[in-house]
Every structure is written in C-alpha cells, then in structure tokens.
Amino acid sequence: MRSLSALNEKVALLRLTGRLDEAWDIANTALRQARFTGSREELAASRIRRAQVQQFQGKLDEAATELTHCVLESETHEWAGVAAFARENRGKVYFEQGDLEGALADFTAAVFLREKAGASSEHLESALIAVAVVESFIAEQRQAR
C-alpha cells in the first residue's frame, strides 16, 4: 500500500463506501507521499482527491478552497487533465452549494480542458452531461421567477 496509485485508489474506494474518516487519513498519507516522492502534478491530483473526501464529509467551503488552489496551479502549469479534474470537482461542490453559475462555468471549462488533454469520448460525454444538467437547473430557476 505504499504506492501512490494504490493509496489514491484506496481513498476513492473508502470514499465511495462511506468510510470517510479512513478515506481522510489515507488521503493525507497519499498527499504526504506525493509531496515527498511525486511530481507537483501528482501532488495536485492528490489534493483534489482529498478535497473530494471533504466534499463527501459536507465540508463544502474547505473543499471549494482546496479545489480553487488546485485549479489555479494546474492551469498555471498547463496540466490540462488535472485542471479538468479540479474544475469538475469544484463544479460539483458549487452545485451542492447552490452556485449554479459557478458550477456551469467549471463544467464548461472542464469540457474544453478534457478536449485539450485528448480525453476519450466517454470522459467528454460525462462532462457534457454535467453541463446540460446544470443548464436545465438554471432554466428551471429562471422560469420559476
């Protein structure tokens, strides 16, 4: 369990099974390992995974702050794949917070970043679905007014 990819996979599995305290501990271990043995790009990806755990814990403000730092760093260094990952996750947090415009902006940017990174059609499709869902929520809100 010392490889970074194994740690990150364990974080995802624990998060998805609702074992959030364990996921948080492993996410911090993965973050430390990425800091000492990985690249800066791997460190940013580990920070995104840790922010996902925060989101699932209901710590939306903390997750949004961490993801914003990851977006800025990854876009500054032109890591399109990591930037798309960060934008998608921040978009999910914004959606949970009710910031539909922010979510739409992030999901839309994620589509373009995924295209730039050469993502598969499945990854592009999931990002496009997120855009369509948020657009429909925005349209519903406008009609309700």
User: So what's the pLDDT on residue 21?
Assistant: 97
Instruction: Say which CATH superfamily domain 4-144 falls into.
Output: Tetratricopeptide repeat domain (1.25.40.10)
C-alpha 9/C-alpha 3 separation (Å) is 10
User: So what's the pLDDT on residue 145?
Assistant: 80
A 10 A CB-CB count for 129 gives 11
Neighbouring residues of 98: CB distance < 8 A, sequence distance ≥ 6: none
User: So what's the pLDDT on residue 1?
Assistant: 45
Position of tokens 């995924």?
114
Q: Which residues of the chain have pLDDT under 50?
A: 1
C-alpha 50/C-alpha 53 separation (Å) is 5
